[in-house]
Amino acid sequence: MPTRDGTPPGGDQLSSSARLGVIVVRDGDGCVWCARPFDDRTPPTREHVIPRVKGGPSWLENEVAACARCNRERGHATPVQWLEEVRLRGRSPRPDVIEAALVRMAERVREHGGARRARKALWSELRKLGRQDLIP
């Protein structure tokens, strides 16, 4: 039975391809940064909303699906910063999916702890989105 956010119990232990499948079902079949639909020529990749270099964990709550081009070009940019950048590049990002991922991650931290290194970046992004209600 799926958990409240639609992920299977123990979802963090899934194989990479199974994790990606869960993410695409949860968030939709298109790149979170450019909305390009996934197909054989544009396969999805797992993208960490809070980058790993900023302490972002490999939790389903912190992962979304992105095309390889957007994933590679983003580098370590923050989510809100990258949303603005892709808009300037003429792409059609999906900010609702990014905000939902940040909310899921904040709820997981509140309920279960963890992700100490990522919290500063997470709280900063939530502030930028006007979601202070989720910041302890």
Residue 130: CB atoms within 10 A of its CB come to 8
CA atoms within 13 A on the CB side of 17: 1
pLDDT of residue 12: 64
H or E, element range at 66: strand 63-67
How far apart CA 50 and CA 102 sit, in angstroms, is 8
pLDDT of residue 56: 95
pLDDT of residue 6: 43
Q: pTM of the predicted model, to two decimals?
A: 0.88
pLDDT of residue 13: 77
pLDDT of residue 8: 45
Please report, in tens digits, the pLDDT of each residue of the chain (136 residues total): 444 444 444 456 788 889 999 999 999 999 999 999 999 999 999 999 999 999 999 999 999 999 999 999 999 999 999 999 999 999 999 999 999 999 999 999 999 999 999 999 999 999 999 999 999 8
CB 86 within 8 A of CB 70: yes
